[in-house]
Amino acid sequence: MRSVSTLGYMVLGVGDLAAWEAFAVNVLGLQAGARVPGESLGLRMDDYEQRILLLKNDLDDFLAAGWEFESNVALEAFVDQVRAKGVEVVEADKRVAEQRRVARLFVCEDPDGIRHEFYCAAWRANTRDAFRSSVLRGAFSTGRLGVGHFVTVPKQSAKAKVFCEDVLGLRLSDTIGGDAAPGVNLDVTFFHARAGRHHSLAIAEVPFPAHKRIHHIMVECTDPNDVGLAYDRCKQAGVPILMELGHHPNDQMFSFYLISPSGFAIEFGAGGIVVDDDTWEVKRYTELSDWGHKMNPPPGAPAHPAH
Ligand SMILES: [Fe+2]
């Protein structure tokens, strides 16, 4: 079965574009890219013109995942495969493809209303406009591994898992189940795309109502010192920390979780492993973190442990 290559971009609907810009640039270390005042802002992490697209939207939630293909031929073959399964896939018009900064774009929707966008040929930035972070010591870990990952909290997790495997063609990495945080029973299923980042998408089943489509998105940097430096920036700027510094046993990520201006969390990490499908063995873990990641539920925000 054909599979998406990698999670190339994410689209977030945010209520306060100005607050997000200051947060993304000064705290996360992203670079502001193309903008339409009052409507959208592109955020850069590398030589792509855009890795995260912010659209003004009072939902304050995850809107779309951009799945990358190496070529137009690979993209079309994948779209044919998805349509053959009875899923409606439409080609987006030129304006939407340009807003995403890609050459060609197809779109479908999953059972929970998240758009899945399939594209090839992401626009690269002008060489005289190389990516520069105002605060990062190293770089973001992107390239073929893509923008990062996101973790959904679907209403019908069984349907969501079928969509991941049968439509997107993602493969199971591992699961974490049981009493992963004190008194909280959860089950998280992790999926990887062809490029092999340990997970591009994970599905969290939690024993309480979810307020957003996602629990968190994750961005990864190459230098673990940048995780500590970002943690210090959060403390200094008064950005709420959902989970303190810690380490996950499955993807080996050293990270912490902060609360974005939209209320969902962002995992900021380093050290995530890459899956080689020829040798990979699916595992089941019984703890979310092997050290740290102490929960710090901020007042008024939902405290969902997930990974
Ligand atoms: Fe994560």
pLDDT in tens, 210-242: 899 999 999 999 999 999 999 999 999 999 999
Environment class of 193 (CB within 10 Å of its CB; exposed 0-12, middle 13-18, buried 19+) = buried
Is residue 268 pLDDT above 80, yes or no?
A: yes
| Three-state SS letters, 139-194 | CECCHHHCCCEEEECCCCHHHHHHHHHHHCCCEEEEEEEEEEECCEEEEEEEEECC
Q: In this structure, are residues 298 and 242 in contact, taking their beta carbons and an 8 Å threshold?
A: yes
Give me the mean pLDDT over the 127-148 stretch: 97
Q: What's the angle, vertex CA 77, arms to CA 167 and CA 214, rounded to 5?
A: 30
Q: Mean pLDDT score of the chain, rounded to an integer?
A: 95
Instruction: Please give the pLDDT value at position 24.
Output: 98
3-state helix, strand, coil in the chain (%, to 5): 20, 40, 40
What is the Å distance from ligand 1's center to 306 Cα?
7
Stated pTM of the model: 0.95
What is the Å distance from ligand 1's center to 94 Cα?
33
Using alpha carbons, select from 64, 89, 85 the residue that is nearest to residue 75.
Answer: 89
What is the Å distance from ligand 1's center to 240 Cα?
17
Is residue 208 pLDDT above 90, yes or no?
A: no
Q: What's the angle, vertex CA 203, arms to CA 205 and CA 57, rounded to 5?
A: 100
What is the Å distance from ligand 1's center to 53 Cα?
19
> Whose structure tokens read 């993807």?
251
What is the Å distance from ligand 1's center to 179 Cα?
18
Give me the mean pLDDT over the 273-299 stretch: 91
Is residue 140 pLDDT above 70, yes or no?
A: yes
Rounded to whole angstroms, the Cα distance separating 273 from 301 reads 30
Q: In this structure, are residues 129 and 193 in contact, taking their beta carbons and an 8 Å threshold?
A: no
Ordered structural domains, the chain, with CATH: 6-125 (3.10.180.10), 143-292 (3.10.180.10)
What is the Å distance from ligand 1's center to 154 Cα?
16
The one-character DSSP state at 211 is: S
